């Protein structure tokens, strides 16, 4: 990957999961809100917080916690449509 594309990828994606990060989520949400108003479309958002995630990190370590985050992210992507954005907002929030 060329340096400019790589830097852009890093700026807009979560390093632990490869999902869109908060910055890309915010950009896409802003665009979607404009489109929904312009075209009178509907918009749905889903917010997921992993309960007791700190306990996973504290008990099994951050490597295991990162695997859990990747697994949750992957499961969410399998449920999403191609045009949907699955993002890790931060910590244990998707």
Q: Exposed, middle or buried, 81 (CB in 10 Å: 0-12/13-18/19+)?
A: exposed
Assess whether 66 carries a catalytic annotation.
Answer: no
Measured CA to CA, the distance from residue 21 to residue 18 in angstroms comes to 8
Which of 58, 66, 84, 92 does the annotation list as catalytic?
A: 92
Residues belonging to the active site: 92
């Amino acid at each position: 990957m060329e340096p400019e594309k790589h830097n852009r990828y890093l700026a807009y994606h979560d390093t632990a999961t490869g999902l869109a990060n908060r910055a890309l989520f915010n950009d896409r949400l802003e665009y979607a809100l404009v489109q929904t108003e312009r075209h009178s479309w509907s918009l749905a958002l889903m917010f997921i917080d992993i309960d007791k995630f700190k306990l996973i990190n504290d008990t099994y370590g951050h490597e295991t916690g990162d695997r859990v985050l990747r697994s949750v992210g992957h499961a969410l992507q399998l449920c999403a449509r191609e045009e949907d954005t699955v993002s890790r907002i931060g910590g244990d929030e998707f």
